[in-house]
Amino acid sequence: MFYGFWMLLISVILSAMWRYISDGHRLLPDEVNQARIDHIARFFQPNIALYGVAIALAFFLPQEAAALFLIIAVVGFIRVA
């Protein structure tokens, strides 16, 4: 559960930071195109529903929750590849 709460918090913070940085090219060079910004945004997009399920599952089935956290991480990397 502890791991899940921290991963969810980190995911939400990184997503918020990227939205601030990329909003109107606030802190990005002009040569960065919108497609690249959207690609990076998909990586930082938090999957709140899956984290919530994994955290709830950790109360009753901790090994299955650990497997779900691993799946969330793997899918996150595959999603941006």
Q: What is the pTM of this model?
A: 0.77
Domain containing residue 62: 2-80
User: How many alpha carbons fall within 13 Å on the CB side of residue 20?
Assistant: 6
pLDDT given at position 41 = 84
Per-run averaged pLDDT (10 residues), the chain, 81 residues: 89 90 88 88 80 92 93 81 64
Question: Both tokens of residue 42?
Answer: 């998909």
pLDDT given at position 47 = 79
Residue with tokens 């899956």: 50
pLDDT given at position 39 = 84
State how many domains the chain has. 1
The radius of gyration of the chain from alpha carbons, rounded to an integer in Å, stands at 15
pLDDT given at position 80 = 66
To 5 degrees, how large is the angle CA 18–CA 20–CA 3? 45
Q: Are 51 and 11 in contact (CB under 8 A)?
A: yes
